[in-house]
Structure 1
Amino acid sequence: MKTRRWRDALLQQEDLNFLLTNRVPRMALTRFMGWFSKLRNPWVRDASIAVWRLFTELDLSDSKKMHFDSLHDCFTRELKPGARSVDGDPDVLASPCDAIVGACGAVDGTRVFQAKGFPYEAAELFGDAQAFEPFRDGCYVTLRLTSSMYHRFHAPHDSRVERVTYLSGDTWNVNPIALKRVERLFCRNERALVEARLLGSDHRIALVPVAAILVASLRLHCLDLLLHLGYRGPKRIDCTADYRKGDEMGWFEHGSTIIVFAPAGFSLSPGIAPGRQIRMGQALMTLPRAASTASTASGG
């Protein structure tokens, strides 16, 4: 209990937190962690998980397995069957991941917020103003995955991924302290734009997984490659991959953020507000009624 109080007091010191997680060689530490976390040494694995537990509320009770080959194996763990239930309502866009809700709401033209008083241009986040046009005056939700959370993410609705765009960048921490201090943080960091179309509808959705310090690798099932700091392949990758709501789409190598965008006419589901903890599969947004009716009529 004393250790937990000491840890919480330390983490609440904003200046120290920001210094320790940002005023360091972020890229070098991120590359090191990518290597270190994959070491298959029982002593390294056990010591690393013990330290991880010291600084987070790590809960492995819903993990598919309890014995891990490495720290990375624990980070990217799968869940037990039935550990999450997915909202089956065709009117609902489900949360793609376990997360804490950050800034969210209506898109003001192309402007959204990373924190109160810190706006940014979503077109810059996308890296392409034209790609953002379907989401002008739409709806968005920022979902922050803490390091102890389940790190895989899933399809919010029956959908077809049509394109992935990789955008290289920095690895600033994406915790609330950094979001209140670093302008346009999400636009600075390593990220990917995943563009999809709802099956049976003309509506598009977009997921923007954003990397952070210690995490700059992203695995997507629709691509036969790993997106990471050393990636030198094509930035824009066209693909065709169909998913049913709740199907696994990929995972982070650690924890970070996913920003979900939907077009005008979508709205936040009841209770979605900054600070709320949400689980994968729970209601995140509500579709326009006409869109969900068309999807149901077409059979997906």
Structure 2
Amino acid sequence: MMKIRRRFQKWMLQEDLNFLLTNRIPRIALTHFMGWWSKISHPWVVKSSMAVWRLFSDLDLSDAKQKEFDSLHACFTRELLPGAREVNPDPSFMTSPCDAIVGACGQISQGQVFQAKGFPYQLQTLLGSSEYCRHWPSVLEGGSYLTLRLTSSMYHRFHAPHDVQLQHVTYISGDTWNVNPVTLKRVEQLFCKNERAVLHMQTNDGVPFLIVPVAAVLVASMRFHAVDVLLNLRYKGPNEMSCDAAYAKGQEMGWFEHGSTILVFVPPGFERADGIATGQHVRMGQALLKRS
């Protein structure tokens, strides 16, 4: 079984084939189907689906609170065993909100950031033009950004990177392109095309910053504890939702229903923590950014 999985994964690493199979498909229709399929609780469906999932990925449930699941959805959104992640308590650090692989990261310059080398996008385009988002490019100019990619097999819940206040949520409906490195090198302004939510945040000592979860093919469902609706492609609005939710550092804020990407944007005054670079695997609670 291990040899078959490795051969299959190696085959899928061929860029042209990967792009074709994960993007040149009816993305939105398949995403709707996956949302329905993942909630089926029949044991045959669950066991066969889990077997296929393991073929595609290195699924590891050793740190999961549950070991048996009554649906794929329950596995996608699984909780961790108590103590499975250590949250860095130092208040000078902002920690990773999720388990992830670090993608493009760097400085915000003239309102521009990168999804991959040679593929820039404008921060304002990502955030949209609503009155709640127009001021952010100037607030964040000269600051830092990080791209955190969650694979399908990873823990899918996200947590507060500091003691924070969630003040507002802007939901932007969109497409469901894959967000893997192959697609990021081929589709311009991909994050600006996909469904996403802008989380307007502020640390308890007054530092404003943004977390932007971006959905992808087979995902397109995000749950935030501070918002009483499931945000997905069927959601019709309103797109602006006021919040007043306080979170302690490391406290759970919500989850994806598969795997996708979280973008973090902070103003000047931060630098990346030691070892944080493109390609680095990080875990929720690990030091991500340090006040300089």
Residue 132 of structure 1: how far off its partner (Å): 3.0
Provide, for residues 202-258 of structure 1, a one-character-per-residue CA deviation record: whole Å limited to 9, x for no partner: 211110000000000100001111100011121111110000000000000100000
| Equivalent position of 1:95 in the other structure | 96
Corresponding residue to 2:207 among 194, 203, 208: 203
Q: 2:179 aligns with which of 174, 180, 200?
A: 174
Partner of 2:148: 143
CA distance in 1, matches of 2:285, 2:191: 24
TM-score w.r.t. the length of structure 1 is 0.94
Unaligned runs of 5+ in 2: none
Q: Which whole-Å deviations, capped at 9, do the CAs of 1:73-119 have from their partners, x for residues lacking one?
A: 00000000000000000000000000000000111121110000001
C-alpha displacement at 1:4, in angstroms?
2.5
Alignment partners' CA distance in 1, 2:52 and 2:5:
12
Q: Tell me which residue corresponds to 1:67.
A: 68
Select the residue among 271, 279, 296 that pairs with 2:275: 271
| Correspondence for 2:11 | 10
Amino acid at match of 1:196: M
2:192 pairs with 1:191: no
RMSD: 0.9
Q: 2:236 aligns to what?
A: 232
Query: Any conservation in 2 of the 1:63–1:80 contact (CA below 8 Å)?
Result: yes
CA distance in structure 2 between the aligned counterparts of 1:175 and 1:108, rounded to whole angstroms: 24
Structure 1 residue runs of 4 or more that deviate by more than 3 Å after TM superposition: none
Give the length in aligned residue pairs: 287
Amino acid at match of 1:62: D
Partner of 1:54: 55
Kindly, what percent of the aligned residue pairs are identical?
A: 61
Give the secondary structure class of the aligned counterpart of 1:187: helix
Aligned-partner SS, 1:137 = coil
Shift of the alpha carbon at 1:72?
Answer: 0.5
TM-score by length of 2: 0.97
Q: Which amino acid aligns with 1:276?
A: Q
Residues 100-115 of structure 1 mapped to structure 2, 5 A cutoff: 100-115=101-116
Q: Which amino acid aligns with 2:75?
A: C
Contact (CA 8 Å) 1:126, 1:132: kept in 2 or not? Answer: no
Q: One-letter code of the match for 1:244? A: A
**Aligned-pair CA distance for 1:270:** 1.1
- Matching of residue 30 in structure 1 with residue 34 in structure 2: no
